[in-house]
């Protein structure tokens, strides 16, 4: 059988991946984008890493970029579809990578179209172009198994949300009339099912807030930039193209009444404000240099009443990484982002980590006010980076509570593991949890305790290993880095692993919950 005669099948979870780029404001930026075959997603990065004295203390560590990684790694085997790349590919064309080139028309015609038009381009790509190309290359189960994965940077995430919350809200009949060349048949009756997962990277889901500029000046700037369609980052305009009610029943980062499952979403949030360009001086801290950290995630449903926070299950999965919005230390071309994405897309184990029943045993000084920064970082063995990092310095994102306002359960992170990426042959997946708790005292008449700016009252790191075993039966063990030897973990009555914090001025537990990941979304 020749390559032309061989047939292929789409198989979960390795659906076609579509990259959707961010905002190109000026004509020069759009020209640069137009002349880049991969719209910027082939960008790489080179970091200085610590090394031995014999190697000069530091060495260059090259990361070729996530798109290239997906094509290079044998277990994934994704094909480059650019410029009829599937024609020259000798593997499975159903595992293919695509770039939504919505700026091409803008550049050729010399006019910036609205974001709805960019989302229409993405819709046509999903509903017409990719299925047609896959069929040409002998993929035979398109009519039953076809789905796509969306990976979007910055404004690209808003393009994807416009697709989900606006365009794909049409009925199957409407879509068949609008896209008569689509070969998806009955799949058009449930168009949201065609989006398997959505990953947004540094997307301003709540718009862009120039926190260091007075509001009236910011509005003037937005008006001046509106010929470049910069108004798409203003809440009023966002509510329009995202089909959110004008009244604030839904916050602007909500999926609204779209019906798209929040558990299919991952948001990568950057915190390296200092490594971005000059615009960071307008945006201010607590950002990736452009997008505020609390504006970079998606929620589901209406705004909670009585100023309560969203239930954890109403918030997209997220990871905080210490990267800038773009540039040499950009969030797209980073190990941290790639390692999070590949496990979210192709992992088989979900792990929720929290602190429980935190109590302070030290006495308080009368009339002093106390608050605490809970800092937490996570790394997975073999990555060499932190996949999630919440620290006040330098990330400006510690989890802060007043002493009398600490909840029963402090959710630290929900992450994903992929047992096929294990480095050893012992069957375990390993990850490191780093804990740090800082105490601040506010003395009456002073802004803070005049004796110390902060007090580190807890600091330790723990290594955990988890084995999925057979039939979903998990085995786990842990060890504190300040101790020797492993300790077995046993589940409690809530089917979670609970272990005590080391004794000190704090009592409490670390809680780890493991569950299968992947197949429940298929």
**C-alpha–C-alpha distance, residues 42 and 99, integer Å:** 11
Weakest mean pLDDT among 3-7, 101-105, 140-144, 406-410: 3-7
User: What is the DSSP annotation of 461-486?
Assistant: EEEEEEE--STT--EEEEEETTS-S-
Cα angle value 195/339/522 (rounded, 5°) = 30
Note the pLDDT of residue 146.
Answer: 98
Residue 89: pLDDT band by 50, 70, 90 thresholds? Answer: confident
Does the pLDDT value for residue 360 go beyond 90? yes
**C-alpha–C-alpha distance, residues 398 and 2, integer Å:** 58
Note the pLDDT of residue 230.
Answer: 58
Average pLDDT score over residue span 90-101? 93
pLDDT tens digits along 393-411: 999 999 999 999 999 999 9
CB 87 within 8 Å of CB 81: no
pLDDT tens digits along 20-67: 999 998 889 999 999 998 998 988 888 888 888 888 888 888 888 999
**C-alpha–C-alpha distance, residues 228 and 27, integer Å:** 9
**Max Cα separation, the chain?**
84
Does the pLDDT value for residue 221 go beyond 60? no
User: What is the DSSP annotation of 158-218?
Assistant: HHHHHHHHTGGGS-HHHHHHH-TT---GGGGGSGGGGEEEEEEES--TT----TTS-HHHH
Does the pLDDT value for residue 218 go beyond 50? no
**C-alpha–C-alpha distance, residues 493 and 490, integer Å:** 10
Tokens 């979403």 sit at which residue?
265
Cα–Cα nearest to 300, from 233, 331, 255? 255
Note the pLDDT of residue 521.
Answer: 41
Average pLDDT score over residue span 143-158? 98
Does the pLDDT value for residue 145 go beyond 50? yes
Q: How many residues would you count in the chain?
A: 522
**C-alpha–C-alpha distance, residues 482 and 290, integer Å:** 39
Weakest mean pLDDT among 112-126, 209-223, 243-257, 301-315: 209-223
Average pLDDT, the chain: 89
In 10 A of CB 189, how many CB atoms?
Answer: 13
Name the residue with higher pLDDT: 219 or 412. Answer: 412
In 10 A of CB 224, how many CB atoms?
Answer: 10
pLDDT tens digits along 298-333: 999 999 987 788 999 999 999 999 999 999 899 999
Note the pLDDT of residue 472.
Answer: 60
Name the residue with higher pLDDT: 36 or 378. Answer: 378
3-state SS class at 349: strand
Dihedral pair phi/psi, residue 352, rounded to 5°? -105, 130
pTM value is 0.93
- How many CA atoms lie less than 13 Å away from 50 in the CB half-sphere? 2
CB 152 within 8 Å of CB 200: yes
Weakest mean pLDDT among 68-77, 349-358, 440-449: 440-449
Does the pLDDT value for residue 224 go beyond 60? no
For a pLDDT cut of 90, what percent of the chain falls above it? 67
**C-alpha–C-alpha distance, residues 317 and 298, integer Å:** 9
Rounded to a whole number of angstroms, the CA Rg of the chain reads 24
- Please classify residue 352 by burial: count the beta carbons closer than 10 Å to its beta carbon, then call 0-12 exposed, 13-18 middle and 19+ buried: middle
Weakest mean pLDDT among 1-5, 23-27, 509-513: 1-5
Note the pLDDT of residue 75.
Answer: 85
**C-alpha–C-alpha distance, residues 439 and 369, integer Å:** 10
3-state SS class at 230: helix
Angle, in degrees to the nearest 10, between helices 155-165 and 115-124: 70
Residue 474: pLDDT band by 50, 70, 90 thresholds? Answer: confident
Average pLDDT score over residue span 341-361? 95
Note the pLDDT of residue 520.
Answer: 46
Distances (CA, A) of 38 to 203, 386, 489: 19, 27, 46
CB 418 within 8 Å of CB 343: yes
Does the pLDDT value for residue 148 go beyond 70? yes
Name the residue with higher pLDDT: 283 or 95. Answer: 95
What are the residue ranges spanned by the domains of the chain? 1-346, 348-522
- Please classify residue 482 by burial: count the beta carbons closer than 10 Å to its beta carbon, then call 0-12 exposed, 13-18 middle and 19+ buried: exposed
Does the pLDDT value for residue 225 go beyond 50? no
Does the pLDDT value for residue 212 go beyond 70? no
Average pLDDT score over residue span 207-215? 64
CB 200 within 8 Å of CB 221: no
Weakest mean pLDDT among 5-9, 93-97, 193-197: 5-9
Residue 226: pLDDT band by 50, 70, 90 thresholds? Answer: very low
Residue 3: pLDDT band by 50, 70, 90 thresholds? Answer: low
Q: Which fold has domain 1-346?
A: Rossmann fold (3.40.50)
pLDDT tens digits along 153-187: 999 999 999 999 999 999 999 999 999 999 999 99
User: What is the dihedral sign for C-alpha 468, 469, 470, 473?
Assistant: negative
Distances (CA, A) of 238 to 230, 250, 302: 11, 12, 16
């Amino acid at each position: 059988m020749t390559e032309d005669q061989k047939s292929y099948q789409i198989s979960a979870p390795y659906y076609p991946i579509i990259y959707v780029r961010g905002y190109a404001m000026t004509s020069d930026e759009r020209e640069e984008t137009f002349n880049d075959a991969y719209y910027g997603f082939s960008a790489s990065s080179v970091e200085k890493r610590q090394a031995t004295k014999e190697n000069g203390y530091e060495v260059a560590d090259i990361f070729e970029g996530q798109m290239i990684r997906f094509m290079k790694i044998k277990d994934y085997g994704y094909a480059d579809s650019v410029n009829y790349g599937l024609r020259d590919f000798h593997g499975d064309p159903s595992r293919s990578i695509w770039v939504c080139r919505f700026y091409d028309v803008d550049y050729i015609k010399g006019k910036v179209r609205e974001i709805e038009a960019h989302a229409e381009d993405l819709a046509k790509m999903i509903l017409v172009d990719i299925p047609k190309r896959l069929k040409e290359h002998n993929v035979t189960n398109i009519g039953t198994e076809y789905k796509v994965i969306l990976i979007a940077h910055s404004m690209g995430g808003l393009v994807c949300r416009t697709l989900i919350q606006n365009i794909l809200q049409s009925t199957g009949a409407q879509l068949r009339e609008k896209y008569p060349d689509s070969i998806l048949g009955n799949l058009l009756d449930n168009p949201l099912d065609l989006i398997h997962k959505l990953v947004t990277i540094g997307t301003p889901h709540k718009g862009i807030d120039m926190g260091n500029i007075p509001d009236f000046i910011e509005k003037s700037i937005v008006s001046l930039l509106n010929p470049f369609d910069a108004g798409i980052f203003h809440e009023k305009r966002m509510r329009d193209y995202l089909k959110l009610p004008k009244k604030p029943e839904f916050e602007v980062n909500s999926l609204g009444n779209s019906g798209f499952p929040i558990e299919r979403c991952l948001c990568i949030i950057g915190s390296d404000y200092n490594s971005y360009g000059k615009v960071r001086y307008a945006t201010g801290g607590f950002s990736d240099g452009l997008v505020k950290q609390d504006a970079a995630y998606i929620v589901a449903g209406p705004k909670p009443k009585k100023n309560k926070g969203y239930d954890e299950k109403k918030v997209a999965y997220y990871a905080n990484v210490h990267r800038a919005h773009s540039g040499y230390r950009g969030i797209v071309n980073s190990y941290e982002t790639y390692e999070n994405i590949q496990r979210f897309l192709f992992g088989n184990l979900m792990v929720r980590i929290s602190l429980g029943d935190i109590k302070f045993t030290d006495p308080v000084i009368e009339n002093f006010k106390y608050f605490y920064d809970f800092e937490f970082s996570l790394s997975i063995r073999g990555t060499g980076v932190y996949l999630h990092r919440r620290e006040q310095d330098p990330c400006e994102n510690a989890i802060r509570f007043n002493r009398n306002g600490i909840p029963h359960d402090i959710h630290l992170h929900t992450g994903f593991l992929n047992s096929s990426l294990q480095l050893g042959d012992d069957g375990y997946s390993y990850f490191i949890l780093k804990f740090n708790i800082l105490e601040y005292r506010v003395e009456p008449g002073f802004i803070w305790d005049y004796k110390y700016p902060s007090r580190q009252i807890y600091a330790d790191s723990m290594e955990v290993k988890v084995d999925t075993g057979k039939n979903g039966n998990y085995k786990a063990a842990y060890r504190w880095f300040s101790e020797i030897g492993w300790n077995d973990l046993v589940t409690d009555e809530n089917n979670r692993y609970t272990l005590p914090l080391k004794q000190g001025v704090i009592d409490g537990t670390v809680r780890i919950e493991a569950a299968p990941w992947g197949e429940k979304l298929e």
